[in-house]
Structure 1
Amino acid sequence: MDYTQAFVISAAGMTVERARVDVAAVNLANANTVQDPQGGVYRPLRAVARNTGMASFAGLVEAADGDAALPALPTVSVEAADVAPRMVYDPGHSFANTKGFVAYPGVDTAVEMVTMMSATRAYEANVAAMNAARTMALKALDIGGST
């Protein structure tokens, strides 16, 4: 495998993990909002990574062994989750319905914090992999340059 492919793979992983952190931060910021700009209840978002290529594991191993082109990397999209709103009884609130309940977004703060921490760790792992590939490439240049 060419070392530049390792950089591209790590960068794709960092892009996905960055999107997961951003989405978790947006969800946490809107966890206690009563209304979104369109007048409805905020719907939590999810970062969904999709592999655009349909390569099998054996195909990926063969591509890495030879001089084949880099397989398709995952792309990330942000989609609204279909989560029911959290109903809180607060009859004095200006957005309360006729029964006295206020609809808050169905954001689970514990899940969002765990998502943020795991995405941060995965991002750090991709940075470490990129740094390892960089170190190996520099070492190869040092070895090749001294002969």
Structure 2
Amino acid sequence: MLDAGLSPEQAGKILHVTPRTIRYWISGKVLVPYAAYKLVRIMRLFELPCEGWDGWHMHSGRLWSPEGYAFQPHDANWWNLLVRRAEGFDRQYTRANQLAVALQRLEGPDGVSVHAAGYAVSVPGGCAATSPTDAVGRAAKPTGLDLSL
């Protein structure tokens, strides 16, 4: 109780026991019930009672990670932005890898260009640009407006 910065009167009020009982616990005459010990630690923010927070604890006004890093209350202001940016980076990274794999599949034996599915794909040095082609590989001409009914 003293570790939590509580007087016997304050601890007694929290735990619904008399201050004399708290003094007995402090002196060692009577063992502190585990439930009382745990409740004081949770209420004084030494431990977090929810699942998933194993190893995390509060001390000196900071949230401490299992690895020993301390977070102050204002540090939480950027967590949402950090998570959103990490998710966006992950999406872009996945797309870039999918594009690189697709280009490697289209790359011909000479590594220069491949005609596939009506598109000419140039792969000089790993960069690719696609443009529509006709049946013989020439640049396709845009179709005119068809006004027939």
TM-score surpassing 0.5?
no
Q: Between Structure 1 and Structure 2, which shows a larger proportion of helix residues?
A: 1
Larger radius of gyration: 2
TM-score, reference length from structure 1 = 0.30
Structure scoring higher RCO (CA < 8 A, sep ≥ 6) equals 1
TM-score, reference length from structure 2 = 0.30
